[in-house]
Amino acid sequence: MFNLDGQVAFVTGAAKGLGLAMAEITAQSGAHVVMTDINSEALDVSVKRLRAQGLDVHGEVVDVADIELLARTIDDAAARFGRLDIVFANAGLSAGSGPLAENGGMAQVDLDRWNRLLQINLTSVFVTIRTAAAHMMKQRSGRLIVTASVAGVRGERMCGYAYAATKAAISNLVRQSSIELSPHNVTINAIAPGPFLTDIGQGRLHDANVAAGFIADVPMGRLGQPDEIKGLALLLASPASSYITGTVIPIDGGATAS
Ligand SMILES: NC(=O)c1ccc[n+]([C@@H]2O[C@H](COP(=O)([O-])OP(=O)(O)OC[C@H]3O[C@@H](n4cnc5c(N)ncnc54)[C@H](O)[C@@H]3O)[C@@H](O)[C@H]2O)c1
């Protein structure tokens, strides 16, 4: 049920954090994984680390803001391997502090930064979905997994405006896309993480005060570790999730329940 032997996967933002964990579990379950990221040095380190485990992965430097390159890289992967089974649209940027912080109020929102967030967190996710879905619909199978956020499910006082808005937008993009993709046996779901200890937002979660602000809303009383995304990522990437589509699944230590 969780075996991915012979499958081809593609991950954006795979050099670090949650995307790296998604790439690792997918490769450990048998898939060939195309790991893409804007950060060529970090990508190189991660690809080498996974290959040293004997995993079948390779890296491609892709800035998801370059939507032509992004689409071409997805098309090339499908052509090169003759199939495309699993795509994680994961790359995303933080918008910094939340609405109650000194520099996070709506008056402080910089519209250039706002537009950059819309590009990376929304438009590039749509292009990833659309490009991959064309291959998956043809082969009549596929798993699309989008990294949303609990900040897209409800208001989140620790996250910036553009982040909350774009994560809500991609959550509904997942529901909307499932209507078109379901008859083609292609599933699409979103993972909505609570706070995980990664380098997102220039590493702000490594700051004890920032971490404490997030943890205050988490009944389990701690941040998630990147490895803890693996179970849900594998579920949504594998045959085990054959009847799950159009959903946004929180993985948040209870944050959205409280
Ligand atoms: N860490 C959290 O608390 C948290 C919570 C909810 C959602 N998320 C989401 O998880 C996803 C992954 O974030 P993370 O926490 O692992 O952060 P991270 O910063 O550790 O990793 C993100 C990766 O994406 C890459 N990236 C950034 N911009 C890119 C671009 N333009 N093109 C290609 N790659 C790019 C980075 O180089 C990095 O390797 C994001 O969509 C983020 O919004 C994270």
Taking the CA of residue 13 as reference, the ligand 1 atom at the shortest distance is 24
Pairing assessment for the beta strands 248-251 and 86-89 based on DSSP bridges: unpaired
Say what the pLDDT of residue 150 is.
Answer: 98
Say whether 187 sits in a helix, a strand or coil: strand
Catalytic residue annotation: 163
Task: For a ligand 1 pocket test, name from 115, 116, 200, 225 the mutation site with the most ligand atoms within 8 angstroms of its C-beta.
Answer: 200
Say whether 102 sits in a helix, a strand or coil: coil
Six token digits for residue 257? 């329940």
- Band (pLDDT 50/70/90 cuts) for residue 7 is very high
Contact predicate 221/254, CB 8 Å? no
Radius of gyration of the chain (CA): 17
Rounded-to-integer distance, Cα 114 and Cα 116, Å: 5
What spacing in Å lies between the alpha carbon of 101 and ligand 1's midpoint?
A: 22
Closest Cα partner for 32 from 69, 78, 68? Answer: 78
Structural domains in the chain plus CATH codes: 8-257 (3.40.50.720)
Say what the pLDDT of residue 144 is.
Answer: 99
Six token digits for residue 57? 């992965």
Say what the pLDDT of residue 237 is.
Answer: 99
Q: What is the pLDDT of residues 48-96, one digit of tens each?
A: 999 999 999 999 999 999 999 999 999 999 999 999 999 999 999 999 9
Say what the pLDDT of residue 167 is.
Answer: 98
Rounded-to-integer distance, Cα 18 and Cα 206, Å: 15
Say what the pLDDT of residue 136 is.
Answer: 98
Taking the CA of residue 214 as reference, the ligand 1 atom at the shortest distance is 3
What spacing in Å lies between the alpha carbon of 236 and ligand 1's midpoint?
A: 19
Residues near 99 by beta carbon (within 8 Å), at least 6 away in sequence: 105, 106, 157, 160, 161
Say what the pLDDT of residue 182 is.
Answer: 98
**Ligand 1 pocket, 67 CB below 6 A?**
no
Six token digits for residue 7? 């499958």
Rounded-to-integer distance, Cα 155 and Cα 177, Å: 24
Residues near 11 by beta carbon (within 8 Å), at least 6 away in sequence: 19, 22, 23, 26, 33, 34, 35, 36, 87, 88, 90
Taking the CA of residue 65 as reference, the ligand 1 atom at the shortest distance is 31
Say what the pLDDT of residue 49 is.
Answer: 98
Six token digits for residue 175? 């529901």
Say what the pLDDT of residue 193 is.
Answer: 98
Say what the pLDDT of residue 207 is.
Answer: 96
Q: What is the pLDDT of residues 224-235, one digit of tens each?
A: 999 999 999 999
The mean of the pLDDT values for the chain is 98
Say what the pLDDT of residue 256 is.
Answer: 96
